Structure 1
Amino acid sequence: MGPTEVNGLPAHVLLVHFVVIMIPITALLLVLSAVWPAARARIGIVLPLVALASLISVPLTTHAGEWLMGKMNGGGPLVARHEELAEMMLPWAIGLFVVSVAVWAVHRFVPRTRTVLTVGLAVLAVVVAVGSVFTVYRAGDSGAKAAWDGVVDTASK
């Protein structure tokens, strides 16, 4: 489905940085586009394109992570927790993409946007943005703990 190694390194450790950066950027662009007409006019078609790139990156990263976990013989409870949290990212990425397309399309193709529709999309955009950023934070934090727990001695200074 996607790369598992890049120059001998597990692809997951490289791809995960794209997800960690792109999901919050997409969320920010979505909220700006949904609530601020001047920003919406400047962002335009970039919003759904960035959301699509974010969406595509999630299953690629997940696939590479599953491959890496297989190489680690399961990886233990911290890796299992990371996998559990990371699996929640795809629905949020889909939500970001769908709401991004809706915000862009409604303001592009509906001649006079109704206030109720604009407010509804703005509320939905904020919910999806907050949920996706929170989920990527939780998954990333658990992944960092799985990777670094016991590796670095933080007690001695």
Structure 2
Amino acid sequence: MQTVNGLPAHVLLVHAIVVLLPLSAALLALTALWPAARRRLAGPNAILSLLVVVLVPITTSAGEWLEHRLSANPLIHRHAELGDTAIYAAIGVAAMAVVLWWRQRESTGRTPAKRTFLAPTSNALTTTLTVIAVLVAGAAVYDVVRIGDSGAKASWNNWAARRP
């Protein structure tokens, strides 16, 4: 899918990434910091973040298709290079979201005889995972802003200075 109703698919798909990746990152930080939110939102956020991991390569593939149809431009090239980093941000958020969900799952309704892998009662591990989750979430949001800014500059460079 490279076009949708005559428009480049990248232009449409990018809006999903710009909304869903920061949303998933914010939910990651929220579920890491707030146990009540973790109980309710860790599972849905794990699903959302995995969806984002699927959407990112589709969006970047559509972006590469579009890049090859435009004239050579260093701003577009820079945006494409930065866009390739979105998958790492999405995978980081998804991995941490799954870990937090799994850990929450292990901590609820389990008998003592059941083996747990992520030490749901360990305060040291909870603190470590919280710090990592907040850092990963912040890095993901920063990455999306950086990629979006470069895309906006590539699309709208000197637009206001042009005369009709």
TM-score after normalising by structure 1? 0.91
Question: For residues 45 and 123 of structure 2, what CA distance do their matches in structure 1 show?
Answer: 21
Q: How does 1:73-152 map to 2 (within 5 A)?
A: 73=71, 75-110=72-107, 112-152=120-160
- Residue 45 of structure 1: SS of its match in structure 2? helix
Is the Cα–Cα contact under 8 Å of residues 78 and 145 in structure 1 kept in the other structure? yes
Q: How much does 1:40 deviate? A: 0.9
CA-atom RMSD in angstroms: 1.6
Amino acid at match of 1:137: V
Aligned residues: 152
Amino acid at match of 1:140: G
Question: For residues 98 and 61 of structure 1, what CA distance do their matches in structure 2 show?
Answer: 20
Which stretch of the first structure deviates more once superposed, 14-23 or 35-44?
Answer: 35-44
1:33 counterpart residue number? 31
- Residue 143 of structure 2: SS of its match in structure 1? helix
Q: Could you report, residue by residue, the CA deviation over 1:33-92 in whole angstroms, capped at 9, with x for unpaired residues?
A: 11101111121310101101111111111000000001114x410001101111111111
Question: For residues 160 and 106 of structure 2, what CA distance do their matches in structure 1 show?
Answer: 54
Question: For residues 70 and 115 of structure 1, what CA distance do their matches in structure 2 show?
Answer: 51
- Residue 96 of structure 1: SS of its match in structure 2? helix
Question: For residues 123 and 132 of structure 1, what CA distance do their matches in structure 2 show?
Answer: 14
- Residue 72 of structure 1: SS of its match in structure 2? coil
Which structure 1 residue ranges, 5 or more long, are not aligned?
A: none
Structure 1 runs of 4+ off > 2 angstroms?
110-113, 150-154
Amino acid at match of 1:31: A
From the CA coordinates, give the structure whose radius of gyration is larger.
2
Are 2:55 and 1:57 equivalent residues in the alignment?
Answer: yes
- Residue 68 of structure 2: SS of its match in structure 1? helix
Question: For residues 56 and 34 of structure 1, what CA distance do their matches in structure 2 show?
Answer: 23
Amino acid at match of 1:7: N
Q: How much does 1:31 deviate? A: 0.7
Q: How much does 1:139 deviate? A: 0.4
Q: How much does 1:113 deviate? A: 2.4
